[in-house]
Amino acid sequence: MKRYVVPIILFFLTIVSTLIAGALQQGINIIKEPLRIIEGYPFSISIMTILLGHEMGHYFASKAHRTQATLPYFIPAPSIIGTFGAFIKMKSPILTRKALIDIGATGPLIGFILSVVACVIGLKMSKFVTVAGQDEFFMLGDSILFSLLVKVILGEVPAGQDVLLHSVAFAGWIGLFVTSMNLLPIGQLDGGHITYALFGRWHFYISRVIILFVAVLGIFYWYGWLVWTVLLLFLGIDHPPIMVWESRLSPGRRLIGIISFIVFILTFVPSPFRF
């Protein structure tokens, strides 16, 4: 029972921190009007559902392959989104290639689907605002998929204007961004698991090429990529060997791997945040 205490406490603390973030996004001063924190529920429900879906995908895939894993640990944070995400901890090694594919891909793909749903719902509640003539304003970068969703749901963005995202759409954007970061084919990220399962020893070279690519993005596009590079180097960019190397993966699992990399390309944003 003790193993459930910390994850449950962190889960409820993150609900509170994301409620605060959602309220602040609406311009609510929760110090003066603390009871209005509940008005942050659209963002809180959306982002928590996306993160929970992602991590529970990993959790149940781990259980299916008899890999011991903890419940998700959510990380509350005093940030614009109220959290630093969530993670589960593997307590036993992943033994086979098919387990690597299933555990690595299930979380991001579930998170991706939930994020797209949030984007569609949220964009229908979003609106255009005039930005021409303003000295400085905060903008989110667009992935291929998000740009397409904006065009389909809202139409072409008029000259001198931009989209003011509803908090649900913002949660969906964050979900897509988190999905792309997890699917980077580096080390033991979700994308690293999939790469190792599909390409074996070629993971060694792919991981190093991609980490260099991320570092270059950090120099020319967004400094946050440099932080991500340092963190990944600290955690390690290699993948441990597995005990059972099946001679062939089923076509279905290879397809899942390919779909995961397509999702990565569609959701990747070289410059996520800019003024």
Q: Pick from 80-89, 136-145, 156-165 the range whose average pLDDT is largest.
A: 80-89
Q: What is the pLDDT of residues 180-220, one digit of tens each?
A: 999 999 999 999 999 999 999 999 999 999 999 999 999 99
Q: What is the pLDDT of residues 72-128, one digit of tens each?
A: 999 999 989 999 999 998 888 888 999 999 999 999 999 999 999 999 999 999 998
Q: Please answer whether residues 86 and 74 qualify as being in contact, where contact means their C-beta atoms are separated by less than 8 angstroms.
A: yes
**3-state class (DSSP) for residue 73:** strand
Within 8 A by CB and 6+ apart from 61, the residues are 99, 102, 103, 106, 107
Alpha-carbon span 29 to 23, nearest angstrom: 8
**pLDDT value of residue 1:** 67
Q: What is the pLDDT of residues 213-265, one digit of tens each?
A: 999 999 998 999 999 999 999 999 999 988 878 778 899 999 999 999 999 99
Provide the residue ranges of all domains of the chain, joining segments of one domain with +.
Answer: 2-269
Q: Which residue has the tokens 């939930």?
A: 114
The mean pLDDT of 44-59, rounded to a whole number, is 98
Lookup: tokens for 251? 């076509």
**pLDDT value of residue 133:** 62
How far is residue 172 from each of residues 110, 113, 154, 175, 273, measured CA to CA in Å? Answer: 13, 10, 16, 5, 15
pLDDT at residue 172 is higher than 90? yes
